[in-house]
Structure 1
Amino acid sequence: MKYSRIFNNQFLLLLFITVLANSVYAQNLAKDIDSVILNVLKDKNGPGGAFMVAKNGKPIYEKAFGKANIEWNVDLTTESVFQLGSMTKQFTSIAILMLEEQGKLDTKQTVSKYIPDYPSGDSITLHHLLTHTSGIKDFTKMKTLGDIAQKEMTPKMMVDFFKNEPDDFKPGEKFEYNNSGYLLLGYIIEIVSGESYENYIQKNIFEKLGMNNSRYATDRQIITKRAYGYQKKETGYVNKTIINFSVPFASGALMSTLSDMLKWQNALNQNVLLKSENAQKAFTKYKLNNGEEFTYGYGWHIKDLKGTPSREHGGSIFGFKTMGVYVPSEDIYVIGLTNCDCNSPTQLVRDIAELTLKGYKK
């Protein structure tokens, strides 16, 4: 009985020391992260950003800086809703894999199977679209984009906008980041599922995962806790350039929050939406026709942080820039959402991830 009491006391003391050490570490990490962020987001009265660090699926750091609305002097919060830009591609790629798992499409199939009249569609596969190796013209680089940027476009109209442009290279010949590919994938999701891309993502991903503050973007409807987008000119901040979200579509038209994006990351880890073997297709490096490996999967860059493997992707759309980094080996997720395209969180989030990783690998 006496030995049992001594053991219990020792265990409680060890537990207290561990909790205290973790608390001190968390406080020091938070100070270091604050310092890194404030070194970039220096204008507290201008647009800023919201940042989160999660470990083992739970937030260990969460903070917002700057204004959600400069005109009304409204602060950003950790619940603010941001446009994701190209982080949308993660949702598009997983939706494609979900449909493949259901037997409704095949990533090895050519575009022609789903869009019969697409030029060179017999040689371009869905895999090429997912990995940015299709060689088709990126519509964001077309000089005539301004003619349609503010128009309501159907997915077919968007495909027709770029489909007759000459290809930049043969499928599988090289990796070149391409928004048109993901727009095509969104259109194929609609053709195969029989419902709009917006509804498919809303019903099968957002609602299923409880991502209640995520949605297809709109400037017309009222969105609670919306972060307004800004750009910076020589004269100061201005409201973002208007774009109709039917134009970026499945390549960049979704909105979300820090907490919803953590739900997304956790769902991917826990194989809520896909079987593990199918989900891994998104996180695999692939090879070009010549056998050369490139560092992109399906909707994620497959990189590393000073030798530790990571999955990363950013986004940029008028008024907003975003970045997310996940470190599988340590289950560390870092995300930054900013509401001025003058503030890129790309290197910032990578620095925070490296800082966090360094602390946990000591």
Structure 2
Amino acid sequence: MKLFFLTISFTLALLSTSYPQALNTKKLDSLFNMLQRHGLANGSVAVSLNGKIVYQRAIGFTALDNNKKIAPDINTKYRIGSVSKMFTTVMIFQLIGEGKLHLQDKLATYFPQLPNAGKITIKDMLYHRSGLHDYTHDTNFPDWMDKHKTHEELLQIIASKGADFEPGAKADYCNSNYLLLSYIIEKIDQVTYAVALEKRITTKLGLTHTNYGKPIDISRNESASYKYGDSAWARQKETDVSIHCGAGSIVSTPGDLVKFIQQLFTGRLINHASLDSMKTMIDGYGMGMFPYDFNSIKGYGHYGRVEEFYSALTYYPEKKLAVCYITNGILYPRSDIVDGIQKICFNENYTIPYSQKPVLNSTGLTKYVGEYSGNLPFKVICKTDNNQLIFDAAGKTMEAEPLNPDYFMNARTGTFFAFDPEKGSLQIKETDNVYFLKKK
């Protein structure tokens, strides 16, 4: 009898450490209600636990039509940018499992005209260690991003830039690697990437809201992307999907993406040995994924950006927890939203902005006053005027209202200020940019 109770106790202990507590959906709602109420965010979120979606929410707008906001729902599709690279990696490992490709195969087998093609392996490209130049850098990319490009034209752009370093010498994130990997999938399967994606992943998993992108059509419940500035949203130029292929041309929903990554980790798409290879990190890079640990809990996934779409997909195998957030336009910092979602999922302390909005006077603001400098080409002066926090920077002056203790916002410009008075530090956040400054 004693042994029986010891066994039960041990089993319960294992269960308690293997699974997170029940998800605090009310607190997630509080976070997204606040963002919606104040017009601070656009996007969609999904959380999966033990293989089941337990939370979904969509807020903001998918498009502005004569200042009329078109609201999203949980099935609204977004461009996911570089999260596409996880799908491409899975298909590469499927081909390896079928004996049609090997990690040590050379790029020269497929594209001998490219720099160092005889030295670069499939493994090098998966790990971003090829040394090839990124076709989106130093190529006037913003001028032609909305123009159709053939495979041959993009191959010529890559070839014309030469090599940045010798294969294997280091890791350097490069879209060219995954563009070429998607072309290799097409060559081996003898179908387009879109067909390969459907055949190998989306149909198999029942991902009904995931596909290779097309020109954005709001009537198909697809979202356009917007940039915020001067109290207004401006629609952004649309990237032609021919340009990124498997490096960034997939559209999806958070709900489909948490299903995808959860099924990837259960062995539904590739075997566990291949998954272990994807998870093996070299210089902080995995193959098609990156480490996104939460405290001591290991996490894996990928983030992405195309235009003003930003996506974040992470899976925590120990907790069987998948989290995805996608936005089509940033006002409240994306990193803060993702951080808030994760803290709520892991039952960490987290204060919803505006829930403890401080009432400050000039005395309470004194701890922030001073001159700050850091990774900006100018100094930032923080001062007070009539119980208001004022910032002077680069010849401009802006006021800031408190959201939480030590956290302020200028709503007109979409600039956020996070202080740590004890350390004398200041973070300035604009869209996905974070600048770190110290007080003199």
* Alignment TM class, shorter chain as reference: 0.7 to 0.9
Instruction: Tell me what 1:327 maps to.
Output: 316
Distance in 2, Cα, partners of 1:315 & 1:307:
24
2:52 equivalent to 1:52 = no
Q: 1:32 aligned to 27, 35, 42, which one?
A: 27
Distance 1:223 1:296, change over 3 A: farther
Matches within 5 A, 1:272-311: 272-286=268-282, 294-311=283-300
Distance in 1, Cα, partners of 2:157 & 2:294:
39
Matches within 5 A, 1:156-175: 156-175=152-171
2:133 equivalent to 1:145 = no
Matches within 5 A, 1:235-254: 236-254=232-250
Instruction: Tell me what 2:10 maps to.
Output: none
SS of corresponding position for 1:184: helix
Q: 2:329 aligned to 319, 332, 340, which one?
A: 340
Matches within 5 A, 1:172-321: 172-219=168-215, 224-234=220-230, 236-286=232-282, 294-321=283-310
Give the TM-score, by structure 2 length: 0.69
176-185 or 138-147, which deviates more? 138-147
Q: CA deviation at 1:36?
A: 4.3
Where structure 1 has 5 or more consecutive residues not aligned to the other structure, the ranges are 1-21, 287-293
More RCO (CA 8 Å, sep 6+): 1
Q: CA deviation at 1:37?
A: 4.6
Q: Which amino acid aligns with 1:355?
A: I
Distance 1:243 1:83, change over 3 A: same
Q: CA deviation at 1:102?
A: 0.7
Distance in 2, Cα, partners of 1:327 & 1:73:
35
- C-alpha contact 2:41 2:331 (8 A) present in aligned 1: no
Q: CA deviation at 1:90?
A: 0.4
Deviations for 1:265-286, whole angstroms, at most 9, x for unmatched residues?
Answer: 2321231221211222111113
Distance in 1, Cα, partners of 2:71 & 2:34:
19
- C-alpha contact 1:53 1:59 (8 A) present in aligned 2: yes
- Deviating beyond 4 angstroms after TM superposition, the runs of 4 or more aligned structure 1 residues are 35-43, 220-223, 341-344
SS of corresponding position for 2:251: strand
Percent of residue pairs identical:
25
Matches within 5 A, 1:57-68: 57-68=51-62
- C-alpha contact 1:303 1:312 (8 A) present in aligned 2: yes
- C-alpha contact 1:301 1:311 (8 A) present in aligned 2: yes
Where structure 2 has 5 or more consecutive residues not aligned to the other structure, the ranges are 1-18, 349-440
Give the TM-score, by structure 1 length: 0.83
Distance in 2, Cα, partners of 1:217 & 1:265:
20
SS of corresponding position for 1:94: helix
Distance in 2, Cα, partners of 1:181 & 1:129:
5
SS of corresponding position for 1:140: coil
Distance 1:201 1:169, change over 3 A: same
SS of corresponding position for 2:105: coil
Q: CA deviation at 1:263?
A: 2.3
RMSD (Å), alpha carbons = 2.3
Distance 1:343 1:112, change over 3 A: farther
Q: Which amino acid aligns with 1:52?
A: A
Distance in 1, Cα, partners of 2:332 & 2:206:
29
Deviations for 1:132-173, whole angstroms, at most 9, x for unmatched residues?
Answer: 111111111123224432222122321211223132222122
SS of corresponding position for 2:87: helix
Q: Which amino acid aligns with 1:166?
A: G
Distance 1:84 1:344, change over 3 A: farther
Instruction: Tell me what 2:74 maps to.
Output: 78
Distance in 1, Cα, partners of 2:341 & 2:41:
20
SS of corresponding position for 2:89: helix
Q: Which amino acid aligns with 2:315?
A: Y
Instruction: Tell me what 2:13 maps to.
Output: none
Distance in 2, Cα, partners of 1:347 & 1:200:
36
Distance in 2, Cα, partners of 1:171 & 1:307:
33
- C-alpha contact 1:310 1:328 (8 A) present in aligned 2: yes
- C-alpha contact 1:318 1:341 (8 A) present in aligned 2: no
